[in-house]
Amino acid sequence: MHQSQQHAAKAGQPWLQLESIGKRFGSFQALQDVALQIRPGEIQCLLGENGAGKSTLCNLIFGVHEPTAGQMLLDGGVYQPQGPADAFAQGIAMVHQHFSLVSDLSVVDNLLLGQAHGFLRRGAMADRVARLAEQYGLQLDPHALISTLSVGERQRVEIVKCLMREPRLLVLDEPTAVLLPDEIDALLRVCRRVAAQGCSVLLVTHKLAEIKQVADRVTVLRGGRIVAHSEHPADELDALVQAMIQHAPDSPARPAAAASRSPRLQDEVLQVDGLGVTDVQGVTRLDNFTLVLNRGEIIGVAGVEGNGQSELASVLSGMSSPSRGRFFINGEELSGASPQAVTRAGVGVVPEDRHATGCITDLSLAENIFLNRLHEFQRWGCLDRAAMRAAASELMRRFDVRAASVDSRFGGLSGGNQQKAVLARELTLRNLTCLIASQPTRGLDVGAVQAVYGHIRAARDQGVGVLLISSELDELLTVADRIVVLYRGRIMGSCPAQPDQRARIGAMMAGQTP
């Protein structure tokens, strides 16, 4: 701990203060009149919807951007970092969602990058890594290649790289998005140990369970302004979420009716028989995937990203052909069929990358909502835009898609509103019987997550069969009826979607047989 930080801690005073901070990008006001205090040795969580200004605020603190109004104070003096390197030098470190490691180098060599002068002292660095690992409970092999490490292990390397600088503040931006349940618990324990050493932690997260587990204080941003603050967040989660989204949240637990309801297993809507995918390098990505999905049922596909989920979704949506095996929709074989044929068969598809395959960002909101059925608005070879706008306005209302108008450029919408628009398109297919939803809440805030799953539950209750692929285990346990677990392309096992199955599912996600 820095001596100045120790002094601030003894005095009980915040060492980093933001006063009336504003940030404008052209005509867009990203932050306005933001006041924030960070105390030594605390974990403060930052909560807010997509577009609320969380990332902008973190980037101001880390020196990526400069404020256009207000000031920041560090130890009572003006803090004006000229860039991330300057922020580092003044004791502020940040772990981004996307790592900056060189995969062909070892852990030690990555840690030496930018720090070594003259001879490389790998042995001394390895010893230092070992000391940090013991101090903070970070298990790492200093000599392992980055390419051989799991996502959780790579994240540990990034954290060690920051802790080597002995920071005053560690900023973590959505750090648990792609971690195993045990890795999430381990990371939160690391946060506690870091805080116990006197380093403050600013944790950006959408997960209420994480806030309840580790947050000392929570600050809520909405529309670039601070709208709520809590010194006792574990006891005030509902109020914090309500402040964030401006309406009372649904219960995070499974509704009582859903918990006691048996799925309506009327007919098979999707049958997958021995599906396999081998890539161009000859690596098997999906291996003998077999499953039956019934009408009125949600099957969750759990697993750490990269274990065959993308390949499964790609094949079932018609974006690629399987190397072997078959699948049927309502008894009709569609193996290797085009996306148009899959849509005609009554399959709605919510892709994991909405920008790459789910929309055309330069078109309007209305055009994107009806991308898969523009023919419905054709009159004598021309597009009846007035009718399309009217229909799009109705779907905007039903699905709470917030935009200036139906003519707004799709790429200008927030992530949550883009995803709700994609859902509006896919869930209103005339003959919808099956929904393939892949990572539908990735990058969304709590309010948008609730809206997305509300629409998916409603589709299930109307008899649609839903295959829900997600790396968010807690969400799957809340919304699904049963869960299958993918590991290295194979189904490790299945079980009911009940909270008491969480440890078992986590073990299967790590490759352990049930």
The CATH number covering residue 300 comes to 3.40.50.300
Among 428, 450, 466, the domain boundary falls at 428
Q: How far apart are CA 267 and CA 270, in angstroms?
A: 9
Pair (263, 339) in one structural domain: yes
Per-residue DSSP letters for 169-190?
EEEEESTTTT--HHHHHHHHHH
What number of CA atoms fall less than 13 Å from residue 306's CA on the CB side? 7
pLDDT (0 to 100) of residue 253? 39
pLDDT at 255 (0 to 100): 40
CA torsion angle for 204, 205, 206, 210 (degrees, to 10)? -150
In angstroms, how far apart are the furthest CA atoms of the chain?
78
Residues spanned by the domain of 394: 360-428
* One domain, residues 490 and 463: yes
The pLDDT value given to residue 12:
57
For the segment 89-102, the average pLDDT, to the nearest whole number, is 81
* Residue 512: predicted pLDDT: 76
User: Are 332 and 267 part of one and the same domain?
Assistant: yes
Which strands make up the sheet holding 225-230, listed edge to edge? 92-95, 169-173, 200-204, 43-48, 217-222, 225-230
252 pLDDT band, cuts 50/70/90, is very low
Q: Do 374 and 470 belong to one domain?
A: no
Sheet holding 324-329, edge to edge: 284-294, 268-278, 324-329, 332-333
- What confidence tens digit (pLDDT) does each residue in 445-464 have? 777 788 888 899 999 999 99
* Count: domains in the chain: 3
Q: Which residue has the tokens 């392992």?
A: 144
**Same domain, residue pair 503 and 433:** yes
Choice among 36-45, 258-267, 368-377, 502-511 with the minimum mean pLDDT = 258-267
At residue 21, does pLDDT exceed 60?
yes
137/273 same-domain check: no
- pLDDT, residue 319, reads 92
Q: Are residues 461 and 502 located together in one domain of the fold? A: yes
Same domain for 134 and 272, yes or no, is no
Q: How many percent of the chain have pLDDT more than 70?
A: 89
Residue from 355, 350, 502 nearest 439 by CA:
350
Residue 249 lies in a domain: no
Residues 388 and 341 in one domain: no
Look at residue 211 and tell me if it is in a domain: no
**Confidence at residue 418, expressed as pLDDT on a 0 to 100 scale:** 87
Domain co-membership, 341 together with 435: yes
What local confidence, expressed as pLDDT, does residue 186 receive? 82
pLDDT recorded at residue 27: 78
Sign of CA dihedral 100, 106, 108, 114: negative
**How does pLDDT run across 182-224, given as a tens digit for each residue?**
778 888 888 998 899 899 999 988 777 788 889 999 999 988 9
Q: Name the average pLDDT for the chain.
A: 84
433 and 341 co-located in one domain? yes
- Position 178 pLDDT exceeds 70: no
- What confidence score (pLDDT) does residue 2 get? 46
Among 124, 141, 165, give the residue marking a domain's end.
165
How far is CA 355 from each of CA 15, 89, 456, rounded to the nearest angstrom? 41, 37, 21
Tell me, yes or no, whether 36 lies in a domain.
no
In a domain, 70, yes or no: no
Residue 73 per-residue DSSP state: E
Whether residue 406 lies inside any domain: the answer is yes
Domain-located, residue 196: no
Considering 382, 400, 428, which residue would you say is the last residue of a domain? Answer: 428
**pLDDT digit string, tens, across residues 128-174:** 877 877 777 777 788 888 888 877 788 788 888 888 878 999 998 87
At residue 115, the pLDDT reads 63
